[in-house]
Amino acid sequence: MTALTNHAPVLLIAIPLLGAFAVPLIGKLGRQARNTFVGLIALITAAFAGLLAAHIFGQAGAPSLYVLGGHQGFGIPLPSGLSVPIRIILEVDGMGAFMALITALIMLTGAFFSFSYWKERSGGTLFYSLLMLLTAGIFGMELTGDMFNFFVFLEITSIAACGLIGFRVWLKTSQEAGFKVMALYTLSGLFVLLAVGLLYGQYGGLNIAYLASALTGSTIDIVALGLLLTGLALKAGAVPLHMWAPDAYGEAPAPMSAVLVANSQASLYGLFRILFTLFGLTISVGALGWILIVLALLTIFVGVTMALIQNDIKRLIAYSAVSQIGYMLLGVGVGLAVSAAKPDFGFVAMQGGIFHMLNDAACIGLLFFVSGVIIRATGTRDLNRMGGLAHSMKWTSVLFIIGAFALAGVPPFNGFASKFLIYEASFKLSPFLAVIAILSSILLLAVFVKVFQAAFLGAKQEGIGGEVPMGMMVPMVALALVVIVFGLFPGFFVDKIVTPAANALWYGRDAYIGLVLGGG
Amino acid sequence: MNIGNLPFVVAALLVAFGIYTFLFKRNLIKLVIGVSLVETGVNLFLVTLGYRTAGIAPIYTFAPEAERMVLPTPQALTLTSIVIGLATTALLLSFAVFIHRHYGTLDVRKVKELRG
Amino acid sequence: MNSGMSLIVRTVTRLVYGLALVFGFYVIMHGHLTPGGGFQGGAVVASAFALLLVAFGAAGIKGRLNHHLLQTLEEIGALAFLALGFVGIGTAFFYNLLANSGSLFGGPVPLGPNAGVFNAGGTLPLMNWAVGLKVMTGIAAIVIAMLIGARKEETE
């Protein structure tokens, strides 16, 4: 068991990759064999994510290191006199393990939901291949301890994600979205690469821990930080760089929209890792925190107002997904703004922002799945042409209410638990922030009441089949259970997994550096 | 101006031209060219970082007895980035092929069903 | 519709095609000693395929390069690469089990400038072959797919 735990970080990347390349071969044996194989790979990957999380949270979020290719690297003395071990490493701390849990949850439910969703369509084999590739890329972004590998995994997710967005080549809009998203993803990746080059040129290293220990906060560092912030905010879909996000989430097949949200969250994780672990206090965190807060407020506001005017159910959910990215940014931005003085409410804000990542993944995932069910049943995405679905799909409508209420932050669901932490902490920094956040949540509730009224209520329509098949119901119920359980017992989860994750960012910089450089 | 800085200037110019092309051109193929230009600029920047005066390539096979070898990391980074660039360009061009098939044009002003 | 190109292009292609193949395989084979390796060599080999396609057109190579076969080979290449990573999992992923073992590719490597020991490098040469296989078939598949896409466009 310990051997498996030790190798879990690399297996989380290698097993989905193995799946990605083996699926097309297995697919030749027929659909049943393929689905069994994909399900098996997804289950094994999720099990390893659980194992890794249990291990990391067992040691209270302290980082652990995995060296690819052997135990010892060899040192090359740099002009600065410091000898850096040359090796490829994966470094997992509380935050990385937390993100791995989110990814595993969404990947697992997304894969199983797809089995029923893709039943009638051909070409599903490559679809699963891309899903596995995307999963491997997301895990890589979350677990790597090296700036350049971060870029490589970022590009792997970009390519796989755009393959999924444009997967339905027979739809003209999906091709348009695919091109747009791929072009912007590539630019964001190049910004990151340019920043990596700037850092490498100054310090001669790519290792996050080494760079963190060597950073001086020079002008070039600030330029690099600006590039990283732009690139990763673009990839995460923060306003004003959000224009690709509704297209991407809206045009991708419904189960994949949820995985794309996990992908955006991985970029957000990269941003947090860079701000807290790489740069830490070498930069003026106050100003930077306020930049994040402004971005967050813009994201929340624009996301919700744009959601309000949509008639297309998937674009509506896509815009609400954009607005939720704002809440995460708000929580962590408040934390960053005060991270020099480290008052208590700053930590609460961090907890809220990080907890909201998990909660958002669960309820946005649920809502995208429900939207997929609705689109399949009615054959349209236009809210004005739907209605009366509650007559034939009682369970789906209940699941939709759960997801929508959770996303809008209504107690007792999980969205409330994390949003409440964010409101509370941001109120202490400035009441204005909390007011905007609360008002936007109320607006979001109005949005979903509109959707519910349009899609589920009203006279029964002809030609709508009965309840969805079990294969789609089970993943949705699983996510709904996550939503409810995390909403009913938030204290337990905040203690067990959110606090170590927040700790890793807030206090964990020295431990992160020390583990790689030996005592620091 | 130091002649050694010239590659950095060229890299910056390439990135600037690329971003200009990306923002102001109306043809999808030209957008792809813009992205490729940015990529080339970044690659040039990376590979220039690894330049050392009178350094030789870090290959031990029949290596001359020279004073210094360059660290191969920037070259490795550039190669990786080129490989990734190949994949992204191929994907972008395939999207362009499909867009042309669906819309019958490559003009971005006419390819805009997704708005708002 | 004549999909090929002029006689000059075809003749030059016939001359260069074999050379490009040999050079590509040489680059893959000596990846652990000289510049290049799996990706570069694979790209050279694939460029030879692309040259064929351009010179003789899709009709000219019909039946000689099978799209599905290429994809299968590509996946086998990728799986072989991963398998070589898993071989060392007893120590760590990607651990070079064969280096300095005395067996296949396990020869000792002298430190400093040398004439190049071909029988060295452990799993690295094998990985080069795996990557080379993946890249040459992958790029060839991309080129063929794009050519098929373009053809469809013309006939529609």
The pLDDT of B57-65, averaged and rounded, is 75
Instruction: Give percent helix, percent strand, percent coil of chain A, each to the nearest 5.
Output: 75, 5, 20
Q: Does B81 touch chain A (CB under 8 A)?
A: yes
| CB contact (8 A) between residue C153 and residue B101 | yes
The pLDDT of B42-71, averaged and rounded, is 80
Q: At what angle do helices A124-143 and A254-272 cross, to 10 degrees?
A: 20
Residue (of A471, A344, A359, A357) closest to A413 by Cα position: A359
Complex confidence, ipTM: 0.93
| CB contact (8 A) between residue C113 and residue B79 | no
CB contact at 8 A, A180 and A244? yes
Residue B103: what pLDDT? 87
List all residues 6 or more positions away from A3 whose beta carbon is below 8 Å from its beta carbon: none
- B116 within some domain: no
Q: Does A152 touch chain B (CB under 8 A)?
A: yes
Pick C34's closest partner by Cβ from B59, B64, B100. Answer: B59
| CB contact (8 A) between residue A25 and residue C91 | no
| CB contact (8 A) between residue A247 and residue B114 | yes
CB contact at 8 A, B31 and B25? yes
Q: Does A148 touch chain B (CB under 8 A)?
A: yes
| CB contact (8 A) between residue C156 and residue B93 | no
Predicted confidence (pLDDT) per residue in A19-41, tens digit: 999 998 888 888 888 889 999 99
Predicted confidence (pLDDT) per residue in A179-235, tens digit: 999 999 999 999 999 999 999 988 888 888 888 988 888 899 999 999 999 999 999
Pick A187's closest partner by Cβ from B22, B99, B113. Answer: B22
Domain limits for position B84 = 3-103
- B23 within some domain: yes
- B51 within some domain: yes
Beta carbon pairs, B and C, within 8 Å: 42
| Amino acid residing at A485 | V
Predicted confidence (pLDDT) per residue in A422-472, tens digit: 999 999 988 999 999 999 999 999 999 988 888 888 777 776 767 778 888
| CB contact (8 A) between residue A172 and residue B102 | yes
Band (C106; pLDDT cuts 50, 70, 90): confident
Contacts of B45 in chain A (CB under 8 A): 194, 197
Q: Does C82 touch chain B (CB under 8 A)?
A: no
Predicted confidence (pLDDT) per residue in A80-102, tens digit: 555 666 678 888 999 999 999 99
Rounded CA gap, A14 and A140, in Å?
9
Q: Which residue has the higher pLDDT, A464 or C6?
A: C6
Predicted confidence (pLDDT) per residue in A247-270, tens digit: 999 888 888 899 999 999 999 999
Residue A119: what pLDDT? 67
Residue B5: what pLDDT? 83
Residue (of A272, A180, A191, A262) closest to A227 by Cα position: A191
Residue A199, token pair as written in the block: 């850092």
Pick C116's closest partner by Cβ from B57, B62, B83. Answer: B62
Mean pLDDT of chain A: 88
Residue A22: what pLDDT? 92
Mean pLDDT of chain C: 82
Pick C113's closest partner by Cβ from B62, B93, B98. Answer: B62
| CB contact (8 A) between residue A18 and residue C94 | no
Asked if pLDDT for residue C27 goes beyond 50, the answer is: yes
How far apart, in Å, are the Cα atoms of A25 and each of A14, A18, A265, A397, C72? 17, 11, 31, 39, 7
Q: Name the DSSP class of A382.
A: B
- The torsion region of residue A486 among left (phi > 0), alpha (psi -120 to 50) and beta comes to alpha
| CB contact (8 A) between residue A250 and residue B96 | no
| Amino acid residing at B64 | P
CA distance C13 to chain A (A): 33
Q: Name the DSSP class of A90.
A: E
Mutate to test the interface with B, among A168, A185, A186, A207 (most CBs of B within 10 A): A186
Contacts of C72 in chain A (CB under 8 A): 24-25
Rounded CA gap, C14 and C88, in Å?
43
Asked if pLDDT for residue A309 goes beyond 50, the answer is: yes
Asked if pLDDT for residue C111 goes beyond 50, the answer is: yes
CB atoms within 10 A of CB B69: 15
Asked if pLDDT for residue A520 goes beyond 50, the answer is: no
- B110 within some domain: no
Contacts of A25 in chain C (CB under 8 A): 72, 75-76, 79
Nearest CA in chain B to C112: B60
Contacts of A306 in chain B (CB under 8 A): 116
Burial (Cβ within 10 Å: 0-12, 13-18, ≥19) of residue A145: buried
Band (B45; pLDDT cuts 50, 70, 90): very high
| CB contact (8 A) between residue C82 and residue A71 | no
Share of chain C above pLDDT 90, in %: 25
Band (A4; pLDDT cuts 50, 70, 90): confident
CA distance A179 to chain B (A): 6
Burial (Cβ within 10 Å: 0-12, 13-18, ≥19) of residue A335: buried
CA distance A301 to chain B (A): 15
> Domain count of chain B?
1
How far apart, in Å, are the Cα atoms of C71 and each of A14, A170, B40, B53? 20, 22, 29, 45
Asked if pLDDT for residue A75 goes beyond 60, the answer is: no
Contacts of A24 in chain C (CB under 8 A): 71-72, 75
How far apart, in Å, are the Cα atoms of A486 and each of A260, A413, A499, B66, C34? 22, 7, 15, 64, 56
Q: Which residue has the tokens 């560092």?
A: A221
| Lowest-pLDDT range of A139-143, A155-159, A211-215 | A211-215
| CB contact (8 A) between residue C153 and residue B100 | yes
Residue A169: what pLDDT? 83
CB contact at 8 A, A292 and A220? no
Query: Residue B54 belongs to a domain with what CATH number?
Result: 1.10.287.3510
Rounded CA gap, C84 and A49, in Å?
23
Contacts of A67 in chain C (CB under 8 A): 92
Is the pTM higher than 0.80? The answer reads: yes
Mutate to test the interface with C, among B86, B99, B105 (most CBs of C within 10 A): B86
Transcribe B22-91 into DSSP letters. HHH--BHHHHHHHHHHHHHHHHHHHHHHT--TT-B-S--BT----S-B--SHHHHHHHHHHHHHHHHHHH
CA distance B16 to chain A (A): 12
Rounded CA gap, A293 and A331, in Å?
8
Rounded CA gap, A71 and A67, in Å?
6
Q: Identify the contact set of chain C against chain A, taking CB-CB distances under 8 A.
A: 71-72, 75-76, 78-79, 82, 85-86, 88-89, 91-96
CB contact at 8 A, A368 and A110? no
Nearest CA in chain A to B88: A159
Burial (Cβ within 10 Å: 0-12, 13-18, ≥19) of residue A114: buried
Contacts of B91 in chain A (CB under 8 A): 159, 162-163, 182
| Amino acid residing at A342 | K
List all residues 6 or more positions away from A117 whose beta carbon is below 8 Å from its beta carbon: A253, A254, A255, A372, A376, A472
CA distance C66 to chain B (A): 20
| CB contact (8 A) between residue B94 and residue C113 | no
Pick A22's closest partner by Cβ from C79, C85, C95. Answer: C79
Q: Which residue has the higher pLDDT, C116 or A264?
A: A264
Contacts of B71 in chain A (CB under 8 A): 76, 204
| HSE-CB for B67 with a 13 A CA cutoff | 4
| CB contact (8 A) between residue C95 and residue A69 | yes
Rounded CA gap, A218 and B99, in Å?
45
Q: Does C115 touch chain B (CB under 8 A)?
A: yes
Transcribe A421-476 into DSSP letters. HHHHHHHHH-HHHHHHHHHHHHHHHHHHHHHHHHHTSSSPPTT--SSPPHHHHHHH
Pick B95's closest partner by Cβ from A152, A166, A190. Answer: A166
Asked if pLDDT for residue A11 goes beyond 70, the answer is: yes
Band (A43; pLDDT cuts 50, 70, 90): very high
Rounded CA gap, A65 and A6, in Å?
9
3-state secondary structure of C73: helix
CA distance C138 to chain B (A): 10
CB contact at 8 A, B60 and C112? yes
How far apart, in Å, are the Cα atoms of C31 and each of A16, A501, B56, C79? 27, 42, 18, 19
Residue A78: what pLDDT? 56
**Domain extent listing, chain A:** 284-488
Secondary element (H or E) of residue A65: strand A64-68
| Lowest-pLDDT range of A307-321, A331-345, A360-374, C141-155 | C141-155
The pLDDT of A299-326, averaged and rounded, is 91
Mutate to test the interface with C, among A6, A11, A18, A66 (most CBs of C within 10 A): A18
